[in-house]
Chain A
Amino acid sequence: MTSWLDRTVLKKAKKYKILYLMILPGIVYLLINNYIPMFGIIIAFKEIDFSKGVFGGDWIGFRNFEYLFKTSEAYIITRNTILYNVVFIILNLVFAVALAILLAEVKQRFLKRFYQSAILLPYLISTVIVGYLVFSLLSMETGFMNKSVLPFLGLDPVMWYTEPKYWPVILTIVKLWHSVGYLCIIYFAAIVGIDQEYYEAATLDGAGKFKQIFHITLPSLTPVITIMTLMQIGRIFYADFGLFYQVTLDSGPLLPTTNVLDTYVYRALLKSGDIGMASAAGFYQSVIGFALILISNFVVKKINPDNSLF
C-alpha cells in the first residue's frame, strides 16, 4: 500500500517537474524583460554612475524630478500625450462604430469582405512605412500636396515639416487612417453576433433602420464599446511612439505640437544622453499609467464585472 502511494507521489512530482521545466524559460524571460526593469525604475531616484553598476549609483531623492518639472516641457509633453489620446479615442470610436454599422448593412458578401480588407490594410503596415506614405504626400520639394494639390487650388506651397500648427490635424488623420480598421472589425464582429430575431421583430413592429440602430444595435454594442474604450483610457499616458517620431520625421521645429512622453524619454535617453531626466519622465509615465489602468479597470468592474480585465 505504501509503495503504491509512494509511486503516485513520485509520479506526480515527476509530472510537475516536467511542467515546471516547461514554464521556466518563459518566466526567466519575463523576469529579465519585464520584472527587473519594473524594479529598475528606482533609477530615477539615483545618481547615474555606471562604475558602480547600472543601478548602483547614490540616492539623490527627487532631484531628477525637480529638474524635470521645472522645465516647461514636462507640461507640454503631458498635455500633448493626453490631448492627442483623447481626440484619438473619441474619433476612433465614432468612426469605427459608424463604419461597423454600415458594413453590417452591406448585402453582397464579396464586397463586404473587400471593404473589410481595405479598411484593415493600413493597420498591418509598420509605422516607418506610414512615415513614407505621409512623406510622399507632404514632402516639401516633391510631395503630392505641394506639387499637385496646392498649385491646383492656387495656394502657395507649405513647409509641412517645419510648421507645428498643422500637425495636430495631420497626426489625427494619420492615426485614424492607421487604426480605425482594427476597431471597426471588433465592433463589426460584435454586430454580427447580435440575434437577428430582434431585428425581425422590430421590422414587424414597423421600426425603421435608424430606430433599429438606436434601439438594438447600439445598446448591444455598449459592453464591447465600454471595454475597448476603457482599455484605451487606461493607456492614455502612453503615446504611439512611431506616430510621433517617424511620421513627423523627428523634426525639431514640430516639437511644440508633437513631443509626447514616449518621444521625450527616447530623446533624453539616446539623443541628449540625459539619463536622469529620461528616467524621471519614465517613472512618472509608468506609475501614473499603472494607476490609470487600475482605475479604468475598477470602473469597468463597477459597470459590468464580466468585462473587467481582472
Chain B
Amino acid sequence: MRRTRIEQVVIHFIFWLIVAFCLVPFLLLITASFTDEDAIIREGYSFFPSEWSLDSYVFIFQKSGEILNSYGISIVVTLLGTIASLVLMTLLAYPLSKKDLPLRNFFSFIVFFTMLFNGGLVPTYLIYSNVFHITNTLLALIVPGLLVSAFYVILLRTFFTVSVPEAVLESANMDGAGEFRIFVQMALPLSLPVLATVGLFQVINYWNDWFNGLIYISDSRLYSIQVLLNTILLNVQYLLDNVDYSSRVDGSSIPTQGVRLAIAVIGALPIVLTYPFFQRFFVKGLTVGAVKG
C-alpha cells in the first residue's frame, strides 16, 4: 500500500516537471510582453520583471494598422480556407465511399498516391507562380498545399463508409431522392462529428500556416499574422520601417522588444484560449488518424 503511494508521488512529481517544461516558455513570452521596454533592455526577458507595462499592447491596438490588418487576413483566410477545404474534401470523399461507383478504386488511388510521392517545392512553386500567377493574391494563402489533403479525404471516406448506414441511404434512394440531395440531407448530418474534427484540424492548419506566405507573398498588405511574425522575427528592422506609422508623426519610439513578443502572444492566443474547449475532439481526431484510415 505504501509502495503505491510513493509511486504516485514520484509519478506526479515527474509530470509536474514535464508540465513546467511544456508551459514555462509560454509564461516567459507572456511576462516579457507585459514588461517595460527599458526593463527588458536592462534585465532581459524575465519571469519577474521589475517594471510591468502595457505599452506593447497599447501600441498594437492603437497605433499599428498593419498588425490588426494581418490579424484580419488570418481570420479571413482561416474561415474561407476551412470552408472551401471541407466542401471540396467531403464532395470528393462521399462518392468514394460508394462501393458500386465505377472506377472507385482508381480515384481512391489517385487520392492516396499523393501521400506517397510529391514533386517538392520547385515544380509546385513554378506552377503556382508562373502558370497560375497566384503570387500576391489571397488565393496564395488558401490554395497551395492546404486545400485538399489525402489524409483527411481518406478519414472522411472511411467515416462515410462505416458510420452512414447503407440502408438509410437506400431507403432515401427508393423515395426518389437524388444522390446529391441524399448527400446533403442525410449523409452530411450523420457525419457532423467527423466534419467537426477535420474542420478543427484545418482551422489550426490555416491559422498556423506561414509557409505559403513566405514563398508566395511579398506584398505586406496581404501578410497574415504568422507571415508578419515571421518577417519581424527574421528582421527586427521591419518593425521600425513598416509598422510604426505613428512615431514619425508624434516622435515617440516604439517598444520594439516588447512589441515583437506581444504580437507573438496575440498570434498564439486564439488557439491557446480555445484549446480547453476543443481538446477532446482534437485528441479523438489524432488517435483516429493513427489507426489505419
A-side interface residues toward B, CB under 8 Å?
15-16, 18-20, 22-23, 25-27, 29-30, 32-41, 43-44, 50, 54-55, 99, 102-103, 105-107, 111, 113-122, 124-129, 131-137, 139, 141-144, 146-148, 177, 181-182, 185-186, 189, 209, 224, 227-228, 241-242, 246, 249-250, 262, 265-266, 269-270, 275, 278-279, 282-283, 285-286, 289-290, 293-294, 306-307, 309-310
Contacts and interface: CB of A to CB of B under 8 A. Distances in A.
B26 interface: yes
B161 to A, nearest CB: 14
Contacts, number: 279
A282 B19 CA distance: 39
A124 B121 contact: no
6 contacts: A33-B143, A33-B148, A40-B123, A121-B23, A128-B230, A133-B29
Nearest to A283: B120
B238 interface: no
A181 B44 contact: no
Given A117-B275, A117-B276, A132-B260, A102 B119 contact: no
Contact of B119 (A37, A116, A117): A37
Interface in B14-48: 14-15, 18-19, 21-23, 25-26, 28-29, 32, 40-41, 43-47
B28 A133 contact: yes
A126 B116 contact: no
Given A26-B88, A228-B290, A36 B226 contact: no
Interface string B256-293: 01001100100110011001100100110011001010
A136 B124 contact: no
B126 A54 contact: yes
A127 B205 CA distance: 11
B124 A37 contact: yes
Q: Which 4 A-B pairs have the closest CB atoms?
A: A147-B44, A40-B123, A37-B119, A26-B92
Contact of B19 (A39, A44, A119, A209): A119
Nearest to A29: B148
Contact of B208 (A114, A126, A279): A126
Contacts of B264: 128-129, 132-133
Contacts of B243: none
B292 A307 contact: yes
B119 A144 contact: no
A279 to B, nearest CB: 4
A25 B276 CA distance: 35
Contact of B21 (A36, A177, A250): A177
Contacts of A131: 230, 233
Contacts of A241: 211
A37 B44 contact: no
B119 A34 contact: yes
Nearest to A142: B44
Nearest to A209: B7
B4 to A, nearest CB: 9
Contacts of B95: 19-20, 22-23
A33 B282 CA distance: 27
A301 B123 CA distance: 32
Contact of B45 (A127, A139, A270): A139
B58 interface: no
Interface string B84-102: 0000110110111010011
Interface in B123-169: 123-127, 130-132, 143-145, 147-148, 150, 153
Contacts of A36: 119, 123, 127
A41 B47 CA distance: 49
A266 B110 contact: no
Nearest to B178: A18
A291 to B, nearest CB: 10
A30 B110 contact: yes
A41 B26 CA distance: 41
Contact of A33 (B144, B179, B208): B144
Contacts of A189: 283, 287, 290
Interface in B184-221: 204, 207-211, 215
A133 to B, nearest CB: 4
B8 interface: yes
B112 interface: yes
A133 B215 contact: no
A290 B32 CA distance: 44
Nearest to B208: A126
Nearest to A135: B233
Residue among B96, B102, B123 having the largest count of chain A Cβ atoms under 10 Å = B123
A249 B232 CA distance: 10
B249 interface: no
A144 B28 contact: yes
Given A132-B29, A306-B292, A181 B22 contact: yes
